[in-house]
């Protein structure tokens, strides 16, 4: 597959998913507003979800670094790592990101920061021990591509939408329990009863569907970063070889958690997934990523 065509295809699929996501959110919001009969509740839910997630986005680097236990390093402590990041940042036209190391045996890496000026790249001790320079370049090019592609912004918008749906669903179910919905004779109103059943079904299924769409977007962004990183190094085999080594390591990270799992190059839990479980993966299967990289023409 042509590298540029693969990158463009991943961008298109991401935005198709986003469009579908927005349509689902608007549809669910409309249904719940009809059930509640109070648009101000819907406005509050939207504003609360956005404020909470914008705050998270603004401080994303600090939150992630504290959660993962990453420590800043100077150039004198890891000159080869610093040189690789510096060269790739210049090639990509990005500011030099801050560089961190996570003291963990699992080979892995992540990038964070709300924009290129606040970019952070972190690698584990295991990554530095197991990869050669070419493989390290492939991994770091992937991570810098996340910064260049503004994936933190995409991820934050997705989280806002998921949080909005979850909040509405929770409000609806609580109103059901405590009898807070409008309309005392709703049970005698056939249309109202049908709308109520739809609302209950949505309150159960919508958060699951929203989470699946968020994870699908996350997986597309990984494919996009793979392709963009390969464009940066002009050598897809570097990242492919690195992913092979990472995939062979099955022990979980010491501080693996679901909140930051999507940021890592590979699943920090180190699990082998069943077919059904793959729907809930934040990353595409490593073998599929390797196959795509090996099939690219530079």
Q: Which residues are known to be catalytic?
A: 143
Answer yes or no: are the C-beta atoms of 266 and 121 closer than 8 Å.
no
Strand bridging mode 98-102 / 71-72: antiparallel
* Cα torsion through 197, 201, 207, 213, rounded to 10: -120
Residue with the two structure tokens 């463009």: 8
Write out the two tokens for 248: 């062979």
Euclidean distance between CA atoms 110 and 98, whole angstroms:
12
Write out the two tokens for 216: 């699908």
Q: Which residues pair with 264 in a beta bridge?
A: 110
Write out the two tokens for 294: 């090996």
């Amino acid at each position: 597959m042509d590298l540029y065509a693969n990158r463009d295809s991943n961008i298109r699929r991401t935005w198709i998913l986003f469009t579908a996501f927005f349509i689902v959110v608007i549809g669910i919001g409309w249904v719940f507003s009809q059930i509640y009969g109070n648009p101000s509740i819907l406005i509050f839910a939207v504003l609360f979800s956005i404020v909470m997630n914008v705050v998270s986005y603004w401080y994303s680097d600090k939150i992630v670094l504290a959660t993962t236990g990453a420590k800043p390093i100077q150039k004198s402590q890891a000159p080869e790592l610093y040189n690789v990041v510096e060269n790739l940042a210049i090639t990509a036209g990005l500011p030099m990101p801050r560089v961190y190391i996570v003291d963990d045996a699992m080979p892995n890496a992540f990038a964070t920061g709300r924009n290129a000026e606040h970019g952070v790249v972190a690698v584990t001790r295991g990554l530095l021990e197991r990869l050669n320079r070419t493989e390290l370049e492939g991994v770091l090019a992937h991570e810098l591509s996340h910064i260049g592609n503004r994936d933190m912004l995409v991820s934050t918008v997705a989280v806002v939408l998921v949080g909005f749906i979850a909040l509405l669903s929770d409000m609806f179910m609580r109103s059901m329990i405590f009898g807070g919905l409008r309309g005392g004779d709703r049970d005698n109103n056939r249309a109202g009863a049908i709308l109520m059943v739809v609302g209950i079904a949505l309150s159960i299924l919508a958060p699951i569907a929203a989470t699946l769409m968020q994870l699908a977007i996350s997986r597309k962004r990984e494919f996009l970063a793979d392709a963009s990183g390969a464009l940066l190094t002009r050598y897809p085999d570097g990242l492919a070889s690195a992913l092979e080594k990472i995939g062979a390591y099955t022990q979980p990270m010491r501080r693996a958690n679901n909140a930051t799992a999507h940021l890592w190059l590979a699943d920090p839990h180190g699990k082998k997934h069943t077919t059904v479980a793959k729907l809930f993966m934040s990353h595409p299967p490593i073998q599929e990523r390797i196959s795509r990289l090996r099939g690219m023409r530079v």
